[in-house]
Amino acid sequence: MSEKDAAIKEAQQALDKVVKYYGIDASNVNVQVTFEWGNATRDAHTYSDRRVVINSPALIDAPSVAASVVHEVTHANQMKLHGVNEGTDVSLVVQNHHTREAMGYQAALSNADQLGLSDKKKQWYAEQVEGEKAQLSKDNLKLLESGQYWGMKAGQAGQ
């Protein structure tokens, strides 16, 4: 086994342990939460087929990895329950994108104490939530904050 393959295997094992240790419900993820070596520019991503990948920049510490997984699993849950965010109405797609991101960041923030996130990381997640909310129309912000956006409230990661 090459050194790179050994490192990928070790990272996947660590990722599996984080998911198990924190009890993250990844049942709506297609296959499993997977470590992907190749992309050094993003922490994590959820593909339209509900595959969740965690990239090497996310491998800071166990709480940070867990928060990234919670965020991405939230997107897999959204896709399972409400479909992929696509369509011809660009405005609607953009609003849905920002809503989904706000929910993903809020899910991690809502679980911050359980995950053991630092105050600095909690502040970062709070800023991300507010940044995404700032992109929403007044009506969509109301829907999100009242829990009426798809019947989901921000922070419901394991639905």
61-114 pLDDT, tens digit per residue, is 999 999 999 999 999 998 888 777 776 778 888 888 899 999 999 999 999 999
Q: Is residue 46 situated within a structural domain?
A: yes
Average pLDDT on 3-11 reads 90
pLDDT in the model for residue 36: 86
Domain containing 126 equals 3-146
Contact 149, 143 (CB under 8 A): yes
How many domains are contained in the chain?
Answer: 1
pLDDT in the model for residue 149: 64
Sign of the C-alpha dihedral computed for residues 104, 12, 64 and 110 taken in this order = positive
Percentage of the residues of the chain whose pLDDT score is greater than 90: 55
Per-residue pLDDT at 50 exceeds 70: yes
Q: Is residue 158 situated within a structural domain?
A: no
Cβ neighbors of 47 (< 8 A, separation 6 or more) are 53
* DSSP code, position 152: B
Helix axes 119-133, 62-82, angle to 10 degrees: 30
Q: How far apart are CA 125 and CA 104, in angstroms?
A: 10
Q: Is residue 92 situated within a structural domain?
A: yes
Residue 42 C-beta-side C-alpha neighbours within 13 Å? 10
